[in-house]
A and B are shown apart, each in its own frame.
Chain A
């Protein structure tokens, strides 16, 4: 399979990349790791006339601690996230989830920016970023703006990115020391997207849940923040009844597609189980 013809651009600076995207308009696509876009181009489901490869822009890579936030450049690969002691120490759920994305070869290439910006409901990082309360830095010709992950996703492959804008960094508030977290992903095999997945970040106080956030992957057209489910466990010791209440509240907002991963009812069913497992494991690790 060979992609359709296109013009290749490799800008050396962010300003050049943004200029190119603005000038070339709808016919141009930014190219990050390429492990979503290139397969689509080979199937001719994507036929951009111009690719703007972001690999030449040094400033888009790197992981740094900025006060109580972790700021990750968009072109940082999943492999680099996994190799980072800072990530493992301060946001362990990010390490855990990165290890569940695709396979080792894909993780050398796949980037956090591509994963969150593509708007694919099957990607793992978006729900995680919503759960963590992260924000994205978007830069275009008219300047930069920060958009909360929770406000970014509008539909499958539709996001708050304006034409000509690039997502340049992800900024994650570091959860408090002693927090618990878990990402439970049910998949058919290594490399598959989630049949259903749930992210949980919580804090406990005196054996009871003090704060909690829950995110859901591949259970609707967009990643979901399951606010009612999270509220259902706050103040509880995660007893059986509270877990079931949370699962039911999460299931109430799920609207997965029926596909090769299973019919709607099955995916909602296992989605509820992922929520319960993630809550229990996050609390145990606390």
Chain B
């Protein structure tokens, strides 16, 4: 099958590659670009581990072809840290609140939470839980992930993060 030349912006850098039409975006990111922070979990659009941000939308990159991202602006976990290399508010929240155990779901969780907080800077706990309902975590029971996102929201908004009583 003939290959197609594609270009897109990934984490602020113009990238290009030759792909078959059937190449999934997640494979292009992991194999062509050698950025393995985006994980492949279920491969069936359920688990959210492969979530990336494309043109202001959270997308499961296992369910989109790389050719469809032509000209798009893509953010992956590799692009989430602050410009000076320090942790972003979300990354810091996951660290401080112990929002991960095995860490497999974390890149997808952070990318999804990133878009959630852009759309809703002060979400309620219920809105956070609905907001990450397309991301599955098999370790944490979500409790500390919710806290991590609350921590990040407070930090971004410049308000006090109050950890809820257990």
Which residues in A have some Cβ–Cβ distance to B below 8 Å? Answer: 1-8, 10, 34-35, 38-39, 41-42, 51, 53, 55, 79, 102-106, 108-109, 190-191
Contact = CB atoms under 8 A, between A and B. Distances in A.
Interface of B: 1, 4, 20-24, 27, 43-46, 48, 51, 57-60, 63-65, 67-68, 112, 116, 130-134
Contacts, number: 78
B134 A5 contact: no
Contacts of B65: 8, 34, 38
A191 B68 contact: no
Given A2-B22, A39-B44, A109 B59 contact: yes
B67 to A, nearest CB: 5
B21 A105 contact: no
Nearest to B116: A104
Contacts of B45: 35, 38-39, 106
A108 B55 CA distance: 11
Contacts of B116: 104
Contact of B43 (A6, A42, A79, A103): A42
Contact of A2 (B27, B57, B58, B132): B27
A132 B57 CA distance: 30
Contacts of B24: 2-3
B48 A103 contact: yes
Contact of B22 (A5, A10, A108): A5
B48 A51 contact: no
A138 B90 CA distance: 46
Q: Would you list the 3 A-B pairs with minimal beta carbon distance, nearest first?
A: A103-B134, A8-B21, A108-B57
Given A5-B1, A191-B133, A53 B57 contact: no
B68 A53 contact: yes
Contacts of A8: 4, 21, 65, 67
